[in-house]
Amino acid sequence: MTSPSDTPSEGANGSGQAGRYYGRGIPYLPIGDYPGKLIAIEGTDGVGRSTQIQLLREWLEVKGYGVVETGWTRSPLMQPTIEIAKSSNTLNKLTFVLLYATDFADRLEKEIIPALRAGFVVLSDRYIFTALARAGVRGVDRLWLRNLYGFAIAPHMMFYLNIDVKTLIGRVLESRGMDFWESGMDLKHGDDIYDSFRAYQNRLLKEYSSMADEFHFRVVDARRSVDRIQDELRKNVAAFLEPPEKPAEPILPR
């Protein structure tokens, strides 16, 4: 008799083994052992992901690692289409979900997997959880979303930059301001972009938090300074990439 845990899952869930497909994967692209490592940093809009990834990248390169960066909607195949889709708010929410999933699948196949096979450290600015969170707050079925993303690889390290909405608002107002999508204006919470940002980001943060246990996020307190956050990330990454060598067995006299 098989228990549920013996049955390979079709979709993304927390029982995914690091470095392997969560579920059925990309059927024509089996992945066995490969030398690279996939490190993903999740967090909401403006929390400071890109800042941290840039610093991690420089540090890893100085240490001699080859680093490849990948980020949401950056696939050459899908980026132009997604830009057009975002410039007007006329698409059905499921169509958006599928555009994002296609972007991710394209980057996985063309960038991430080849880089992992070649031994690179892949730093991913956002991962599937951004798609799950954004679609989740728009009412898309959560199980359906997890099944959809069964082709993704469970990262070796999955950091989540956690912040409260008040600190986030301060950070975003000081830097680039609030944009239509990051404020969830398509959800029509009201005409005021500030109120909409607060309501939408609150819901997104809840959605991310609800996935933290399920997917074993390493939760990092992102309310702190850039340097403090970076220190914590580096300590964790160093411990993972360069575990301390086991002390040699003492040689006992015969």
Ligand X SMILES: Nc1ncnc2c1ncn2[C@@H]1O[C@H](COP(=O)(O)OP(=O)(O)O)[C@@H](O)[C@H]1O
Chain contacts with Mg ion (rule: CB under 5 A):
50
Which residue, 20 or 228, is less far from ligand X as judged by CB? Answer: 228
Candidates 7-15, 46-54, 109-117, 233-241; binding stretch for ligand X (CB under 6 A): 46-54
Least distance (Å) from ligand X to the CB of residue 155?
17
CA pair distance 133, 69, nearest whole angstrom: 22
The pairing of strands 157-162 and 218-221 is parallel
The string of DSSP codes covering 49-90 is HHHHHHHHHHHHHHTT--EEEEETT--TTTHHHHHHHHHSS-
Using rule CB under 6 A, residue 118 touches ligand X: no
Q: Which position among 42, 45, 69, 111 is part of the footprint of ligand X (CB under 6 A)?
A: 45
Hey, what are 50's tokens? 């890109």
Which residue, 175 or 210, is less far from Mg ion as judged by CB? Answer: 175
Which residue, 95 or 167, is less far from ligand X as judged by CB? Answer: 167
Using rule CB under 6 A, residue 46 touches ligand X: yes
Candidates 31-39, 42-50, 90-98, 115-123; binding stretch for ligand X (CB under 6 A): 42-50
Size of the site for ligand X (CB under 6 A): 13
Helix residue ranges per DSSP H, 108-185: 113-117, 128-137, 142-148, 165-174
CA pair distance 122, 18, nearest whole angstrom: 14
CA pair distance 181, 26, nearest whole angstrom: 30
222-251 footprint of ligand X as x/- string (CB under 6 A): ---xx--x----------------------
Which residues 170-209 are close enough to bind ligand X by CB under 6 A? 171, 175
What φ, ψ does residue 150 adopt, rounded to 5°?
-65, -10
Strands, E assignment, 163-253: 218-221
Least distance (Å) from ligand X to the CB of residue 168?
9
Using alpha carbons, select from 55, 44, 5, 34 the residue that is nearest to residue 156: 34
CA pair distance 208, 45, nearest whole angstrom: 12
Q: Which does 43 bind (CB under 5 to 8 A by kind): ligand X, Mg ion, none?
A: ligand X
Candidates 40-48, 77-85, 97-105, 192-200; binding stretch for ligand X (CB under 6 A): 40-48
CB atoms closer than 10 angstroms to residue 90: 7
Least distance (Å) from Mg ion to the CB of residue 155?
18
Which residue, 69 or 111, is less far from ligand X as judged by CB? Answer: 69
CB atoms closer than 10 angstroms to residue 3: 6
Using rule CB under 6 A, residue 17 touches ligand X: no
Q: What are the residues binding ligand X (CB under 6 A)?
A: 43, 45-51, 171, 175, 225-226, 229
